[in-house]
Amino acid sequence: MTYIDQPPERLRVIPVPRYEPEACESGSWPREPLSAPTRRPTAPPRPEAVNIEIRQFATGAIKLVLEVMDRRRPIGQLSRVALPHIADQFRVLLAAGSTARAPAPSTLLRVHSQSSRPDAAEITVVYRRGERVHAMGARVERRLVTMPAATPTAPRRKQWRWVLVAITVE
């Protein structure tokens, strides 16, 4: 079916809506003074619900990571907050670097957490070392972790805890 076959009475012409204001004479003022659009007073938006538990864990874990990077803490302490492969990565990273201390200790500037699921969150970190500002990204998840026994004869127990599962350091 082509458009040529259709009868001409079905063709309808619609005028184009106006999209420009009325033209006024050069140098003359419009008849109505222009005013700023009025805004209705609204309540400030509610802040996004932040999971305090995730944020507290992320802040503590990142501080620990920065102290390990500055060689102020032993790498073994990462096992409290991170999966074993992360501690292994830092062990290799620090062994490949110089044995001298960093020129200045790292200072945590900002931590932002964004929940991706109820049991996982993405962490963005900004920190300063000396004059330079660096960034770091991490992922934390709630996992079932086997806790060490309180005494040698006590049974080991499992507990749900937040752990670092991935980290990217600039």
Q: What is the DSSP string of 51-78?
A: -HHHHHHHHHHHHHHHHHHTTSS-GGGG
Helix (H, G, I), strand (E, B) or coil at 3: helix
CA distances from 103 to 16, 18, 19, 65, 131 (A): 69, 66, 63, 17, 10
pLDDT of residue 138: 95
CA 84 centroid distance within chain: 24
Question: HSE of 100 in the Cβ direction (CA atoms, 13 Å)?
Answer: 3
pLDDT tens string, the chain, 170 residues long: the values are 455 555 556 667 777 777 666 666 665 555 555 555 565 555 544 444 447 888 899 999 999 999 998 889 999 889 889 999 999 988 888 888 754 555 688 899 999 998 888 889 999 999 998 889 999 999 999 988 887 777 888 888 888 889 999 999 87
Of 128, 132, 76, 137, the C-alpha closest to 105 is 128
**What residues pair up with 135 in beta bridges, in sequence order?**
126
Amino acid 111: pLDDT = 93
Structure tokens at 28: 């003359």
Residue 96: per-residue pLDDT: 81
Whether pTM > 0.75 for this model: the answer is no
Q: Where are the beta strands (DSSP E) in the chain?
A: 106-117, 120-129, 132-147, 157-169
What is the model's pLDDT at position 152? 83
Dihedral Cα 92, 94, 98, 104, nearest 10 deg: 160
